[in-house]
Homo-oligomer: A and B are copies of this chain.
Amino acid sequence: MHPTMDTSTQSLREHDTIRAVRWQGDRLCLLDQRLLPAEERWIECLNAEEVTQAIRDLAVRGAPAIGIAAAWGVVLAAQQGAPLDDVLATLRAARPTAVNLMWALDRMKGRIAAGAQAAALEREAQSIQDEDLAANRHMGELGAALIAPGSGVLTHCNTGSLATAGYGTALGVIRAGVADGRINEVFAGETRPWQQGARLTMYELVRDRIPAHLIADSAAAHLMRSGKVQWVIVGADRIAANGDTANKIGTYQLAIAARHHGVKFMVVAPSSTVDMATPDGEAIEIELRHADELLATGGRRTVVEGARAWNPVFDVTPAELIDAIVTERGVIERPDAMAMRAMFGQ
């Protein structure tokens, strides 16, 4: 991966919506999300291996954005005559939990099987990206319509432009809800250990001048008790056939606290996040990442030598704690296997 600072063409300031994943015809440019907000540095991926590395190292993150980046990785491999089966397998293994990655690669694989060459694959990847943006806009309207005017909302992790082709999933609903006066105030959890809420969501909210406060993840229940929020709105990395939802660690804890306080809980994700082949949450692999993500902060060890850590980065929220699943195909209230099957087939 090659750092670049070509801000003349790539500055975030030029665009209404941040585009963190940008195809340049023969390379993929990714806004390095590990450095935000301190630094807006772009990295250039010149081949599929570099895309794989960027996904694995969290330079690009967010389930939809990972899928889109992987599709562009396949295009690079096709342009360079690399063995596509190997590339598909390597990209697929880069992160285990988000199913959008597998979905995007399956879509590229289908085109390859049908004989598509590099140019056709490039069009397919562009479609994946364009459809994601359109889906986000549509989900924004659908989700916002569920929220009563004057509400406060709490979100977790980053589900905005940085995590998608643009606009966002849960953050898209928040953008739409703020725009039409339904949402007065937004709270964002820090989202330890990577601080996607603190670093990325607050970056997007401040940039959009949306009234927002950051909170410690563990302040959420106290916030709910205070009556300041009416909805928790989150994204998803995988939604099983019964509506059980894998998402960033901490989501499940928020869902339990929300139910305890009568606060509503909304999951917003494109239909590419739905995995009807996974019957329920028990069947979803939860990625464990390195203990150092908890034991060190900003490269500096903060915990005593010899200490161990347990670092699952996703958890599963059972469908019964979810009030609404919003995809671009529509809204499922009180999701269960029957309602999911009615909308997503299988």
List residues of chain A with CB under 8 Å of any chain B CB: 37-38, 187, 189-193, 195, 198-199, 202-203, 205-207, 212-223, 225, 249-250, 252-254, 256-257, 260, 286, 291, 294-295, 297-298, 300-312, 315-316
The answer, among B214, B298, B304, for a CB contact under 8 Å with A308, is B214
Q: A187 — which chain B residues lie within 8 A by C-beta?
A: 310
Q: List 14 A-B contacts (CB under 8 A).
A: A191-B218, A195-B302, A202-B304, A205-B307, A206-B305, A206-B307, A214-B303, A218-B253, A220-B253, A222-B286, A222-B316, A223-B310, A256-B257, A298-B300
State how many angstroms separate the Cβ of A247 from the closest Cβ of chain B. Answer: 11
Q: Is the interface of A mostly helix, strand, loop or mixed?
A: mixed
State how many angstroms separate the Cβ of A5 from the closest Cβ of chain B. Answer: 19
Tell me whether A212 and B315 are in contact (CB under 8 A): no
Q: A307 — which chain B residues lie within 8 A by C-beta?
A: 202, 205-206, 212, 214
Instruction: Assess A297 versus B294: contact at CB under 8 Å? Given A199-B303, A213-B309, A309-B214.
Output: no
Please name 16 further chain A to chain B contacts, defined as beta carbons within 8 Å, in addition to the given A37-B304, A216-B250, A219-B312, sorted by A numbering. A189-B218, A191-B218, A199-B304, A205-B307, A206-B305, A206-B307, A214-B294, A215-B294, A215-B311, A218-B249, A219-B249, A219-B250, A219-B311, A221-B256, A222-B316, A253-B253
Tell me whether A198 and B303 are in contact (CB under 8 A): yes
Q: A306 — which chain B residues lie within 8 A by C-beta?
A: 206
Tell me whether A218 and B218 are in contact (CB under 8 A): yes
Q: Which residue of B lies closest to A315 (CB)?
A: B222
Tell me whether A218 and B217 are in contact (CB under 8 A): yes
State how many angstroms separate the Cβ of A202 from the closest Cβ of chain B. Answer: 4
Alpha-carbon distance between A199 and B190 when the two chains are bound, in angstroms: 18
The answer, among B190, B297, B312, for a CB contact under 8 Å with A222, is B312
Alpha-carbon distance between A291 and B215 when the two chains are bound, in angstroms: 9
| Copies in the assembly, this chain | 2
Alpha-carbon distance between A216 and B257 when the two chains are bound, in angstroms: 17
State how many angstroms separate the Cβ of A161 from the closest Cβ of chain B. Answer: 14
Q: A191 — which chain B residues lie within 8 A by C-beta?
A: 218
Closest 4 CB pairs of A and B: A218-B250, A221-B253, A222-B315, A37-B304
Alpha-carbon distance between A250 and B304 when the two chains are bound, in angstroms: 23
Q: Which residue of B lies closest to A223 (CB)?
A: B310
Q: A291 — which chain B residues lie within 8 A by C-beta?
A: 214
Tell me whether A310 and B219 are in contact (CB under 8 A): yes
State how many angstroms separate the Cβ of A137 from the closest Cβ of chain B. Answer: 24
